[in-house]
Amino acid sequence: MSPRSPEAPGTAGQDRKSTRTRKRILESAAAVLRRRGYDGTRITEIAELAELRLPAVYYYFATREELISEVVVSGVRATHEHVAAALEALDGSVGALDRICVAATAHLEMVLVGHARAAAAMRTVSQLPDELRAPSRVEEARYGVLWRGLFDDAVARGELDPQLDPRGARMLVLGALNWASDWWDPEKGTVEEIAATARRLVHNALRAPGTDHG
Amino acid sequence: MSPRSPEAPGTAGQDRKSTRTRKRILESAAAVLRRRGYDGTRITEIAELAELRLPAVYYYFATREELISEVVVSGVRATHEHVAAALEALDGSVGALDRICVAATAHLEMVLVGHARAAAAMRTVSQLPDELRAPSRVEEARYGVLWRGLFDDAVARGELDPQLDPRGARMLVLGALNWASDWWDPEKGTVEEIAATARRLVHNALRAPGTDHG
DNA sequence: GTCTATATTGAGATAGAC
DNA sequence: GTCTATCTCAATATAGAC
């Protein structure tokens, strides 16, 4: 039976060898995808990184496209979940602008160190051919709803600078965060440092005038 | 004689047919590079867009790498020159923060509409293999000096929020601008609109507290 | 499940006619 | 200068042994 439709195993379920191997392939694919982009990703390189030969990859995924699609979709979903969890952990009294900063920090963490698939997904989505774009768009749209909601709240509560176009501001902020995986070098500073700068920068950028916090 | 080492022509020099064709190939390459990324760029597609067959491209450029390298290097240089010109046009009394905003606007214009090679360059540099990376790095470094100078000025004059790491802030801002070519849709808003939002956002983001401009 | 060996495709690059 | 026709090589994908 093919592991492409996994069944409940005899004992525990989560770490059958095939499940672990499959996961290793996905992580390797994410790493390659992040560095090389969609077209530059070679299955041979993925296999090498996963310490397998190429045909073993095809045992788990029918095609190159299926593998890449799963990396991207799960990367967006994982980022979405991580950000949503960070927001849910907040006290109800936290302001809309501060919630945006928490979301930004969580997003940045995922892109930089949290999950190889997250960085791969953010960098890759716009390069995907149309067939692969469709499934990933669903996840992107769901995640987009979360961010739009955060900005809508900030507008409604008067916390967003009224001179900013909310959509433009939202996309510029997310761009700043996504691009960080391009230049951030773990040897030149910790994630906490860049996250602190990003949080401060985003807070400054969006806040309505007259709400200075020194 | 190959046009790869162009000579002074009989009359004017700039619009010999071969010079124009060469330019057309570079512009086509930029358009493809921007959409597809480094590995996704096919010379056939470049040729098609330039209304030529593939061998004609090889008449002007020895290899695929040489062509792509020229697009990227000239794209960074054109952006550098455009931004530098915008800054030089400013009155000496303009503050450091405002100068950064002018530079940001000029950079964004180039990436979005000014020059196909600019957008291609910004999107592509990090994907280049090492051999191609070297020449583009020289241009990137030169352009980077300009931006570091702008931020150094802002720090020296106390216009930059002291709680921001200057390097981190600089990279986040440039990321926001570069990423815009990924999502900006000319049908959903003019360049002027997004540029206005970007300018306001950057000004807010970087300014030292207590220098509110309402 | 994973391998070696191989079929197949498609993209970069060149030869040589016009 | 630009073309048609062709070579070459690398990458996806499969067959079949273990």
Q: Judge whether B107 lies within some domain.
A: yes
Contact B27, B69 (CB under 8 A): no
Q: Kindly state the average pLDDT of the residues A108-120.
A: 95
CA separation, residue A33 to residues A61, A124, A176, B78 (Å) = 16, 7, 20, 30
| pLDDT confidence of residue B4 | 52
Give me the percent of chain B exceeding a pLDDT of 70.
92
Number of domains comprising chain A: 1
| pLDDT confidence of residue B162 | 98
Domain boundaries, position B143: 72-206
Cβ of residue A28 lies below 7 Å from strand C:
no
Contact A181, A112 (CB under 8 A): yes
B160 has which bridge partners? B207
| pLDDT confidence of residue A10 | 40
Q: Å between B56 CA and D2 C1'?
A: 6
Tell me the per-residue pLDDT of B50-88, one tens digit each, with 9 for 90 and over: 999 999 999 999 999 999 999 999 999 999 999 999 999
SS3 for A213? Answer: coil
Tell me the per-residue pLDDT of B141-155, one tens digit each, with 9 for 90 and over: 999 999 999 999 999
- Among the partner-chain residues A172, A182, A184, the one whose CB lies closest to the CB of B180 is A172
Please state the pTM of the whole predicted model.
0.94
Q: Kindly state the average pLDDT of the residues B34-45.
A: 95
Inter-chain contact A197–B161, Cβ cutoff 8 Å?
Answer: no
Tell me the CATH number at B186: 1.10.357.10
Q: Judge whether A64 lies within some domain.
A: no
Tell me the per-residue pLDDT of A51-91, one tens digit each, with 9 for 90 and over: 999 999 999 999 999 999 999 999 999 999 999 999 999 99
Q: Judge whether B171 lies within some domain.
A: yes
Nearest Cα of chain B lies from the Cα of A182 at a distance, in angstroms, of 7
- Strand D: which positions are within 7 A of a protein CB? 1-5, 11-16
Inter-chain contact A180–B202, Cβ cutoff 8 Å?
Answer: no
Q: Judge whether A30 lies within some domain.
A: no
Within B 81-140, residues with CB less than 7 Å from strand C: none
Q: Judge whether A10 lies within some domain.
A: no
Q: Judge whether B27 lies within some domain.
A: no
| pLDDT confidence of residue A16 | 83
Nearest Cα of chain B lies from the Cα of A212 at a distance, in angstroms, of 7
Q: Which nucleotide is nearest to A18 (CA to C1')?
A: C1
The per-residue pLDDT of chain A, averaged, comes to 92
3-state secondary structure B123-136: HHHHHCCHHHHHHH
Question: pLDDT at residue B13 above 70?
Answer: no
Instruction: Outline where chain A has alpha helix (H).
Output: 17-40, 43-49, 54-60, 64-88, 96-109, 116-124, 130-156, 166-183, 191-206
Cβ of residue A53 lies below 7 Å from strand C:
yes
| Partners of residue B200 in chain A, C-beta under 8 Å | 161, 163-164
| pLDDT confidence of residue B15 | 75
Q: Judge whether B2 lies within some domain.
A: no
- Among the partner-chain residues B36, B168, B197, the one whose CB lies closest to the CB of A165 is B197
| Partners of residue A161 in chain B, C-beta under 8 Å | 200, 204
Tell me the per-residue pLDDT of B162-201, one tens digit each, with 9 for 90 and over: 999 999 999 999 999 999 999 999 999 999 999 999 999 9
Provide the token pair at A86.
Answer: 């960070």
Tell me the per-residue pLDDT of A11-37, one tens digit each, with 9 for 90 and over: 445 678 888 999 999 999 999 999 999
d(CA B142, CA B133): 14
Number of A/B CB contacts below 8 angstroms equals 137
Q: Judge whether B51 lies within some domain.
A: no
Q: What is the DSSP string of B50-77?
A: TT--HHHHHHH-SSHHHHHHHHHHHHHH
Cβ of residue A36 lies below 7 Å from strand C:
no
Contact B172, B202 (CB under 8 A): no
| pLDDT confidence of residue B211 | 79
